[in-house]
Structure 1
Amino acid sequence: MLPLVSLLVVGAVVAITLHFAGYHRDPQFMPNEYAHGIQIRQALLEEKLVPPPPLPPSAFVDAVAEKPQLALDKADRDWSKMDPAFVQDVLRVMGRMKARGFPMVLLEGFRSAERQNRLAGGGTKVTQAKGGESKHQYGLAADLAPVRNGKVVISERDPWAMQAYNALGEESRAIGLTWGGVWSFRDYGHIERTGSLRALLARRNDK
């Protein structure tokens, strides 16, 4: 009788130990807990890219002189005004471009409706979108340009710059962004979130 009691006691101790050690789980709870654990680990492991330090104004002098109609000296390059998820996509593209030998810089991110209207009007139109019609106004578009020897190069007559722009098209489309270089109104340095502006804003408001 005594050995039987001893076996029962030992069995109870083992069962309790396994339960609190996490080896005894109700099967109906295991899938949810496992999935939740994966989500937490992915969130912790996901690398958040940080925008590079800004270039000095002298780096943009040649670009401003090349296309004065763009008024690049008045362009907004504040990453914090852009959509955070889109910023991560842009930074990923810039990382891939740098690996290919084409370091890039943000020429313009957020753009006010007033500035958009100025660029759309005047003698030389640089965009067809008016204020409120561009994804720049919502932080969902960016204009990039390659940097060579510390200087921003935007001339489309420069063969090296055009190689960089074509590479930008490849890399941006590879991660699902839209490249302005394929539009009828060519905008080689422009990349943006894919989709209609109305749909993108509706999705944002649903969050």
Structure 2
Amino acid sequence: MKRKAGWDVMLLLLFAGGLFFFWQKEQDHLKEDLVQQDQLHPIVIEKKEKLIDRTANKDINVVVTEGYRSETRQNDLYAQGRTKDGAIVTNAKGGESYHNYGLAIDFALERSNGEITWDTTYDGNQNGQSDWEETVDIAKDLGFEWGGDWDHFEDPVHLQWNPGVSMNKLQQENDDA
């Protein structure tokens, strides 16, 4: 069967346009995350920067993958594995996460080749202890709570600073604002 070359070009252009649309959407999400990093509580920003500096001194490159989250983003993540495809990544709905108040960050590690990893056994500085464990020890020393210690839902990428205020109080203050 012989097709006209014009149809092939049109299909190729439609495919390329679709790819560009999805790439642009992902770039917009990445830009949103960068803006949202600035919405962290000043104490969390300070602790995050100290964490990055202290781990760098041990030849560990920590990458903050997410900071502040809007309630819409939180609800979107909550839907994952429930009403949307993917694995469950959170048990917190919008307004129920420290991320929603600028009090939490998620992290990963950067390998020497630039690859981002969530491998908790990775020992890039080759000192016999996983870089993840070293990072968590430093984070705890800085006053972060680690999601990997939770019994109800282990979240090894999550660090949060608890200012001594209950989640109910945070939600109440947010509703009053």
Root-mean-square deviation over aligned CA pairs? 2.8
Give unpaired runs (5+ residues) of structure 2.
1-25, 82-86
Shift of 1:180: 1.0
On the 8 A contact 1:165/1:189 being kept in 2, the answer is no
User: TM-score with structure 1 length normalisation?
Assistant: 0.56
On the 8 A contact 1:82/1:140 being kept in 2, the answer is yes
Match of 1:105 in 2: 63
On the 8 A contact 1:180/1:186 being kept in 2, the answer is yes
3-state SS of paired residue (2:135): helix
2:94 pairs with 1:94: no
Q: Deviations over 1:74-104 (max 9, x none)?
A: 3513332111121001111111111112111
1:26-175 matches, cutoff 5 A: 74=29, 76-78=33-35, 79-123=37-81, 124-148=87-111, 149-156=113-120, 159-160=122-123, 163-175=130-142
Structure with more relative contact order (C-alpha pairs < 8 Å, separation 6 or more): 2
Match of 1:182 in 2: 149
3-state SS of paired residue (1:159): coil
Greater helix share, structure number: 1
State the identity %.
32
On the 8 A contact 1:97/1:168 being kept in 2, the answer is yes
Amino acid at match of 1:134: S
1:8-27 matches, cutoff 5 A: none
3-state SS of paired residue (1:81): coil
Amino acid at match of 1:77: L
Amino acid at match of 1:174: D
CA distance 1:153–1:193, shift in 2 (3 Å): same
Q: Distance in 2 between matches of 1:90 and 1:190?
A: 12
User: TM-score with structure 2 length normalisation?
Assistant: 0.65
Q: Distance in 2 between matches of 1:105 and 1:139?
A: 17
Q: Distance in 1 between matches of 2:51 and 2:173?
A: 23
Give unpaired runs (5+ residues) of structure 1.
1-70
On the 8 A contact 2:101/2:170 being kept in 1, the answer is no
